[in-house]
Amino acid sequence: MTDLELNWTLGTPGLLGIAVAAIAVLLLLIMKFRIHAFIALVLVSVLTAIATGVPAGQLVPTLLSGFGGTLASVALLVGLGAMLGRMLEVSGGADVLTNALIRRFGEKRAPLALSVASLMFGFPIFFDAGLVVMLPIIFTVARRLGGSLLFYAFPAAIAFSVMHIFVPPHPGPVAATGLLGADVGLVLVLGLVIAIPTWYVVGALFGRVLGRRFDLPVPELLDAVQGSSETEFRSAPKLRTIVFLLLLPLVLIFLNTGLNMAATAGLVSLEDGWVQALRLLGETPIALLITVFFAMWLLGWRQRKPASLVETVVDSALGPVCSIILITGAGGMFGGVLRASGIGDAIADSLDAIGLPVIVAGFVIAAVVRLAQGSATVALTTAAALVQPVVLGNPDFNPVELAAIVLSLAAGSVFAGHVNDSGFWLVSRFFGMDTKTTLKTWTVGQALVGTMGFVLALGIFLLAGAF
């Protein structure tokens, strides 16, 4: 079952009040009473569904829809990414790459090196998949050089975030581009113009401030297995092997996203058999599955490691991430209930009636819908659908202005991700941060990303209109 769009009679003020109360109760349970985040999210999701009038017969399906929909996209990526990360860590591959990065960039520029790699990986790879793959390298660099984990992890995470939200071929900007009739190539170029300086200000500069303020240790989540298994599996693989394993999913996923862009431009047809085959190889779960098998071969079987040892190392990756997967799924459940209640649509319709300039209205609608129900993709597509009649009805918008409007919607859709966003819980648990610290770091960082992205998009819009 997909997200249920149910019609209630509470009105926008009532729905908004329930959303605010639900978030407040959730924070109180987690931060004040120390209730486990998974249990708190499930409980608040149930209470919110009841309060918004979800019929008893649809309550459980509504909960399962949000939970299952999130797990469908997250569980495979986190599980396979954790397996790959564990093999890189235990084999010594993370150390090999870390040494190479430090030799090439120096210790002081190690966070910059991690972020540049994340920006490159973030072009075709989704935020959650890319972050999971990079974490073993980030953790190893942080242990080697010392200091707060945020010095290294926050800039890299922001790099993945800005690429995911601003740059095609990611689904959000592609969908908005299609709805508003913008040129996907121009959106890509201007998306990079916005994404890179936004990453530098929020990821590099603000991340440095956070690193000095919050002294976070490196979590033990992805630590190598202890004892004989770690010793036996370690092989100190060659640098080119590790680079191959990191680039393989990048190349495979680009087969999918690149062909989608080519199809949008009319260069290929998605109906062709060879295109469908290559796109299948580039689906993120398939690309990571293929990479895991290559890692098992290159780091295990080819090194004459017993099959039972390879199985033990791979299996050891799953236990630590089970909590992350469940909490992330529960976050998706909460966001799904909020979407099903009609909160996002009610707020968007109200804001649409205010009459702001289209580029400002689109940003505000996307930001408020994002705050209300959590999903960046839903916020972006909702805002794009609402401003579409205005945009398509105005032939005076030039291609650059259209691209700037798309990017302003994207900026609003990432604004201030918090407890109703599954990505919030992914970052919180992987970085070993409690909820309060995640609000002070990640939520504030996402608000800055959204604000700076909008300012840059507005600047591009005004310049394009002036000329």
Q: Count of alpha carbons within 13 Å of 435, Cβ hemisphere only?
A: 24
Kindly indicate the confidence band of residue 207, based on its pLDDT and cuts at 50, 70 and 90. Answer: very high
Percent of the chain with pLDDT over 90: 29
Who wins on pLDDT, 195 or 36?
Answer: 195
> For the residues 151-169, what does the mean pLDDT come to?
90
Give the chain's mean pLDDT: 83
- The tens digit of pLDDT for each residue in 63-96 reads 998 888 878 767 887 788 788 878 887 888 877 8
CB 357 within 8 A of CB 455: no
Q: Is the separation of the CB atoms in 112 and 204 below 8 Å?
A: yes
**Could you read off the pLDDT of 399-456 as tens digits, one per residue?**
899 999 999 999 999 998 888 887 898 899 889 999 999 999 999 999 999 999 999 9
pLDDT band at 47 (very low <50, low <70, confident <90, very high): very high
Across the range 178-197, mean pLDDT stands at 85
Q: Say which residue the tokens 């431009």 belong to.
A: 265
Of residues 438, 444, 337, the one with CA closest to residue 37:
438
394 vs 385: CA distance, rounded Å? 15
Q: pLDDT of 210-224, one tens digit each?
A: 999 999 999 876 554
Instruction: Check residue 124 and give its pLDDT.
Output: 59
Q: Is residue 290 over pLDDT 90? A: yes
Amino acid at residue number 464: A
List Cβ<8 Å contacts ≥24 apart for 168-173. Answer: 168/261, 169/124, 169/257, 169/258, 169/260, 169/261, 170/126, 170/257, 171/377, 172/376, 172/377, 172/380, 172/381, 172/410, 172/413, 173/380, 173/406, 173/407, 173/410
The yes-or-no verdict on residue 10 having pLDDT over 90 is no
Q: Are 98 and 141 in contact (CB under 8 A)?
A: yes
Instruction: Give per-residue pLDDT as tens, 312-348.
Output: 989 888 877 787 788 878 877 887 887 787 766 666 6
Q: Looking at mean pLDDT, say which of 85-99, 187-201, 217-231, 253-267 comes out highest.
A: 187-201
Within 8 A by CB and 6+ apart from 429, the residues are 221, 323, 324, 327, 328
* Span 30-49, average pLDDT: 87
So what's the pLDDT on residue 206? 96
